[in-house]
Each structure stands twice: as C-alpha cells, then as structure tokens.
A and B are shown apart, each in its own frame.
Chain A
Amino acid sequence: MADATTRFFEDLDRRGYEPLLAKTSGTLRFDLQEGAHTHHWMVRIDRGNLRVTQEDREADTVVGVSPALFEDLAAGREHGIAAILRGDVTVSGDPRLIVQVERLFPGDPHSRGPRRFFHREVD
C-alpha cells in the first residue's frame, strides 16, 4: 500500500473534525483502480465530522483514480482540480463534495509560500 495515500486517509480519520468541511455533509468514495483490482476508501462527512473506512458502499460521490495518481495527489505533487479537468480523475454523483474535500489535499511540497521582502536580502 502506497504511503502518502494511507497517511492521508488515516490522518483524515484521526482528525475527527475538519473546520473546512463544517458546512459539508455527505459520503464520498474513492475507488483506486488498477487493472481488475479496486481499493475503496469511504469518507463520511457530517457537518465537518469525519469518519474514514475501507468499504465498498454506496456514496453520494464516487471518485475514480489510479493508485499512482492518488499517491501524487496525497503528496501534493499533483493537483486535484487540474486532474479532474484533464479527465485523469473521474467524478460521479454530487460534484460539490469532491470540490470541498480537494481543499484538504496538501499543496505542492516545493512551494515556498509568501516570503517577506527583508528575508530575501539574506537569501
């Protein structure tokens, strides 16, 4: 099992509550498909309260993605919305859930963020 993927879901489950999802409720299933094998991660959101299981249950939104791409998404190396626009990630059901959950993925690990001007002089 790929590392960043498991860490991402375990972290969500451990978090228990995510303020960014305080206005969101619903069920979201990630289907990580490779050949005949599909690994399922089920995320239940109830006004910000989170629970993650590895079940193949009916969900409001189903996201299809390869395990390799998901690993990149979970590590911040790939961007979820761009991947959806490209067709590398498919979404069926209520699209609002994935747009909200996508915001929990990490940013690009090479991003430096805003730098204060006075810091640059020492660079």
Chain B
Amino acid sequence: MSKSNHIRILDGNTFVVSEDTGDIEATPSEPTGLFSLDTRFLSTWVLTVNGERLNPLSYDDLQYYEARFFLVPGLATHYIDAKLSIIRERAVGGSFRETITILNHDEKPVDLELRMDVASDFADLFQVKDEILNKKGEIYAEVEPDRLRLGYRRGSFKRETVIASSVPARYDKGGFGYTVHLEPNEQWTARIDVQTHAIGPGGRDLRMGVRSHGTERLALQQDLEEWIANAPKVNTEHEDLATTYRRCLVDLAALRFSPLSLGGATLPAAGLPWFMTMFGRDSILTCLQVLPFTPELSKTTLRILAALQGTRFDDFRDEDPGRILHEMRYGETAAFEEQPHSPYYGSVDATPLFIVLLDEYEKWSGDAALVKELEAECRAALKWIDDYADLVGNGYIWYERRNADTGLENQCWKDSWDSISYRDGKLPPFPRATCEVQGYAYDAKVRAARLAREFWGDPEFADRLEREAAALKERFNHDWWVADGEYYALALDPDGRQCDVLSSNIGHLLWSGIVDADRAEKIAHHLVGPRLFSGWGVRTLAEGEVRYNPIGYHNGTIWPFENSFIAWGLRNYGFAEEAATIASGILDAARYFDGRLPEAFGGYPRDLTKFPVEYPTACSPQAWSTGAPLLLLRTMLGLEPHEGHLAVEPRLPAGMGRIEVLDIPGRWGRVDAFARGRLDLHQLAV
C-alpha cells in the first residue's frame, strides 16, 4: 500500500492519521492528526508508560473506521520487555474513541504511570497542506475535573476538542495521566472519548447532528455489511481481481461523505487525506464509474450538486448562474474567505458532466422521476455552457479565473499550473479551452436531447440541442485536429492556436463520442502506441513532448481514473482489444497496491521498472481511483443498458479466466453477467 507507515481510519470527513504506534505528533511535513470539518482537532496524541514511548509489535486496520495497535514499552532499539503489553483500539464515527488496555504478564505486580500528551493546533486543512503557520485567533486549554477542553477562537468562529476518560484521570493543560497498579495477570482498561465541536454563538454545533452514519461501532459495522451485501458479487478465478473488487467496495463505503445541511444523503468524497469533501468533478466521475455496482450514489450526488448549483455572479467564488460547484470546504480559511471554497465554482467540466451523469443514471435505473425533478437544473447548466462558458464567442467552453488570488488557473481535470502547453513547452495565455471539455459539452447536448424528448416533453428543445451538438462536432473536428500528428490538440489558446501536444485527453473524446468515425482508429492507435502507453496505462502526456516527465503530475504520470474512461471510450468505438489492453495494465498495477490504486503512478515503461512507481504525494484511497477497476470491469464485460435491459458483451483478455458478476442492479431488477477471457493481447503488446 502507501509507502508511509501512517495508519488512517475515517468516517465521512472525520479521520485520523497516525504513526504505527497510534501516536500523533504532527509537524508541517508529517500531516498526522485527528481531522474533522477540514480542521485538525488533535495534533499531539502520544502515549507513554513510565515515561517511555511504546514500540509497535503489530497493527490491524480492522475496518476503514477502526484500527488496533499492539505495543510494548521501550523503543525498538531496546530489549523488548514482553512482560507488559498495551493494546490501543480506536474508531471514528461521529467522535474519536480510543480504548487502552494494559496486560501484566509478569508473576509480580507492577506500578505504572500512564500519560497521554495532548495538544491541538486547530490548523485548517489548507494550512496543513500548504504549511502556512500563523493562526489569527487564540488557542486555549481548560482543565475540568472530568475532562480536558482544547479550543480555538477567532471572532465567532470556535472549534473545540473535548477529551474525557471513562476511568478517573488527572487532567492538565498538556494531557492526562493515570497511576495504575496491576497484580499478576491482571488487566486494566480505559476508554477515552474525543469529541470535536464546531460551535456557533448560541452554543449550537455547526453540524447540527447531521451524520452520514450512526456514531456507534455496531451501526458502522452493520452499515458496511449492508453496503457490501447490496453490491453485486464478483466471482473470479483471478484472485487479485477479487481482492481489488472487495478493496474498492470497502474504500467506496469509507469515502462516502454527507455534506452538512443536506439531510444526511451521501456522495463520494474525493480522497484521503486532503479531499474528504464534496468535489463536483470527482464525485460525478466516480458515480459514473460505479453505476453498475452502487447506483444510489448517483442519485444523491445529482441532488446535492443541483441543490448547490450557482445562481449569481460572484467573482471571488468564480460562480455563475447554472454552474456546478467545484469544491466545498468547512474550515477556517473558507469561513474567513481566505480561500473561496464556500463553495468554489472554478471548474468547467462539472457542469456538462452533471448532465452526462443524469442521463447515464436514468439509462441504468429507469428513474424518470429524478430526470423530471432536475429539468430546471439541466436547462440552467446548458445555458451556462452556451452563455457564460464561451469566453471567446466561438462556441467552445473556455476558462479564465476571475479570482486571480486564490482561484484555480486550470479549471479542467489537469489543474496543475503547467499542465497545458504547446509543443515547444510554452504555456498558452488565457482564456484556455481544453479538448476533453468540448467532448463533455457535446455529450451533454446529445444526452440532454434524449431527456428533453423522452421526459420533458420538449421535442423542439431536443432538436435544437441535436443541431447544436452536430455543429459542435463538425467545428471541433476542424479546429482541433493536429494534421501533422493525426490526433486532437490538448487545448486552444484565445487566438485559436492549437496546444499541439499528444496527450491522454484524446481518450476522453472517444468516451464522449465527438470523434469522427474515420478518425477513431488513429486515436485508438495513439492511445496504445509507445508514446502514450507505458505497458501499465496511458500517460497524461506522451513521451517525447518537451514537458514530458514520467513523474510530472499531469505531464507524464498515469492516472487510473482517466484510463478507465479511456477504456470505456475505446470500447464504445469498437476497439475492444485496445480497451482490454488498458484494463489489464491498470488491473495488473492494482496488484502492487493490494487492490487500492493510488491517484497516479509514474509513466516509466513497464519493462523498465517492472512495478508501478507510486507518485510521491499521491492521495490514497482516492474515490476515482477506487472507481477505476469497477469501470474497467464494466468495460471488459461490455455491460450496457439497452432498451430497458442489460446487454452483456464480454471481451476479456485470456489471462483473466472466468468472471461472474452476479446481481447487477438496474431497471431490469437484478441480472448476472458471465465472461471468459479469450482475447489474445500479444498482437497489441507494445
């Protein structure tokens, strides 16, 4: 799994990152802690026995919300005194709870001084990540007879951590302690409860009791069991695939997130640790990936994003009427408008993708009511595409941030500063338009036309959308085609000049259907050709480009999520072998991460490194990486809703053996799909 030895447990947007002893000692470079609502509530949590730190024998991360650490006194360099063992069991779910158990294995009684050092810096997640370190408010600690209260106050903004032990403890401003006497073979247990509070002036908690799950361990366990029981079963001779599938289901359960004030509905948060929040793009793409397995996520995601759709012009938040949000945050920097995430709207793909998801969801679920319910939001989204996103006035979606201080420069999925370039490596001026977003807009119009005709009773609107989509496709194929390379440009600059590098974005175009039929084969060849395909997957930027770097965030790494959509696109255009090549590369890579694909890994050729090199600061688990194997399964099995039933047309590589996916939910009830690997990929191997 991840190279660091950090142990992570989470529930919604409350999570704990600690060392393998269970201790937390946060520094700017060691972002450990107890986090909730984008705020760190514990930055120190260190257990000692008789003044000594503890040494880990082992740990179990039992479920995503609980972990157990087995410890003995003394550091690793000492002789391990096995006459005493300490077990720390912890869980998150509403609050953070830790149970400490000490066992005396000696024939003699022992007297112990136990101490937990406790502190909180109440850092905003953005401060942890960006290492900004001067708090504008006041940090305080209050000792009460039965608890320790740590707090942070800035105006009316107040966050508190309240620590209480089930057995009497001596509390001081820096922690709490116990004096324990243990007879031979006796054991001692204390349960410590850590509550996180976000308090308004009336003393009410900001969260107002809204919770994604029950707060008790049993409720969480039952919830997880139900989640797994409701998902299709995957039986396969391919053991790694079975592991990957189970890992994905559990991680998806863990990444479910219930936004404040929206009634407890859940949607996939983007990823741990930095992105345990609502992201328009990530949540929508994850929902698309997992539709055949956990369709209910789509319904809540669509409803929540619709409820927060932009209604006005707000330059600080890059908000426009009809725009779907990019990111919501709850911490201090959002509250004091030092960051624009309340919510921030600076993405250009979430809006067309919102419509794409609604249409795809209806095809699977038959949920006509939701399509009718969200008609006004879809029309507003389409109006945004035409009226507010076309900054150059030539019928494409462009972006240029209006919040020049804290807004995002690149508002497409490749959102790092240097992701969009010309072949000579220079960066284009703004506004910019990237190719995949034009594909999404095309797809959104085609799909909205179906919704208008079949559900909104507006055939004229449907005709208009189809005409606009056809015109966009024609224009796009003219303006974006790079003649000397025979692929589509990554982007256009405001003068219409092409950013003519070869990039992974061309794969999205197949998924959206905007590629002219006679050009699809060229695109397919590029995607599995040596410049883009590493043997594991498709690189974000082709080898040979000036900015290519195998560990360049968007300039050469391989993103599992993107590869899953590229495979889907290839399959849609009839390139089943090419799709299976990518699918088996990514699923092979998953093996090296125990089934949990990272955000990105290096673009090094597969025969050079023999294993996928994880991108240094990749986020894990991450929702759209978690969704990738599920979409790849769908693609290889050729699962497609067709006239009210589920079509199955498997094209599996020979090495996959037999795969059964049982109880796939949809408008058909539940159906099973069976497949056997027959494709010989050697002819395609590069």
Contact = CB atoms under 8 A, between A and B. Distances in A.
Interface of A: 19-20, 22-23, 64, 76, 79, 81-82, 84-88, 90-92, 95-96, 98-100, 103-108, 110-118
A117 B202 contact: no
B512 to A, nearest CB: 23
A113 B204 CA distance: 36
A95 B208 contact: yes
Interface in B321-352: 330-331, 334-337, 342-343
A37 B321 CA distance: 37
Contacts of B202: 64, 90, 92
Interface in B285-330: 307-308, 311-317, 319-320, 330
A67 to B, nearest CB: 15
A113 B208 contact: no
Given A103-B311, A112-B313, A114-B402, A82 B335 contact: yes
Nearest to B202: A90
B319 A107 contact: yes
A116 to B, nearest CB: 5
A107 B261 contact: no
A96 B155 CA distance: 25
Contact of B208 (A81, A92, A111): A92
A95 B260 contact: yes
Contacts, number: 117
B617 interface: no
B315 A85 contact: no
Interface residues on B, range: 35 or more
B431 interface: yes
B316 A108 contact: yes
Prevailing SS type, chain B contact patch: loop
A23 B156 contact: no
A87 B342 contact: no
The 7 residue pairs across chains A and B that have the minimum distance between CB atoms: A95-B261, A107-B312, A87-B156, A85-B335, A113-B313, A86-B335, A111-B315
Given A19-B376, A106-B312, A88 B155 contact: yes
A22 B379 CA distance: 15
A104 B201 contact: no
21 contacts: A20-B311, A76-B312, A79-B317, A81-B342, A81-B343, A85-B157, A86-B156, A87-B158, A87-B199, A87-B200, A87-B206, A87-B335, A95-B208, A95-B262, A96-B262, A96-B307, A107-B319, A108-B313, A111-B313, A113-B320, A117-B431
Contacts of B210: 95
Contacts of A103: 308, 311-312
Contacts of B206: 84-85, 87
A82 B342 contact: yes
A46 to B, nearest CB: 17
B388 interface: yes
Given A22-B376, A79-B314, A90-B204, 5 more contacts: A76-B312, A96-B307, A107-B313, A111-B316, A112-B313
Residue from the set A23, A86, A95, A113 with the largest chain B CB neighbour count within 10 Å? A86
